[in-house]
Structure 1
Amino acid sequence: MSNFQSNIKTCEQIVADLKAGNHQLIRVLNSHQLSGSAFTAGQGLFTQLVIPTVSKADTVIQKLNSKLQQYGQYTGAACSEILDEDKRSINS
């Protein structure tokens, strides 16, 4: 479970870096310091495809993190219970 938590933290950092880079790129493109059809196409690509994809990845990572926390709670509760062999029902 700790490996999975570590992987999620790494993914969160990657997504944060991607978001920061995307916003920086869009800010520069919107400043009109760069111009031309290639820059306009690049801006469209990032605003319509890349940024929404990164946002979806972020949402999925947050859902995975939530599920991992639930799993940790369930396994913690299950490990703390004592099995009572006398109360166990066996269907034969």
Structure 2
Amino acid sequence: MTIRAVSSQPAASTAANTGAQNQQAAAATQPASKTQAPTTTTTQASTPSASYAVTISNAARAAFAEATETSVQTAQEANRGDRQAQRLLAKEQANKLG
């Protein structure tokens, strides 16, 4: 199982671009009769996006499956002889009684 994180721009660059765009929009809405101060726009070189591959081991997959199974699945596994499921059901029963 591979999970990739992809980003086209860093967050700081996006915020800077939005601010520059807001300044340009505000300048465009002013009447032409007023003297406008020159607006400088900084451009940042885009950095290559980073990607990460994550591999989940079989043991971690099994632990996740055990942690997220329903009580019905646990009961079915206990009836089929799964010792871990039998211990979990016994523990749940003791908590109800005690």
Query: Which TM-score bucket, shorter chain as reference?
Result: 0.3 to 0.5
User: Larger radius of gyration, structure 1 or 2?
Assistant: 2
TM-score (ref. length: structure 2): 0.32
Q: Which has the higher contact order (CA 8 A, sep 6+)?
A: 1
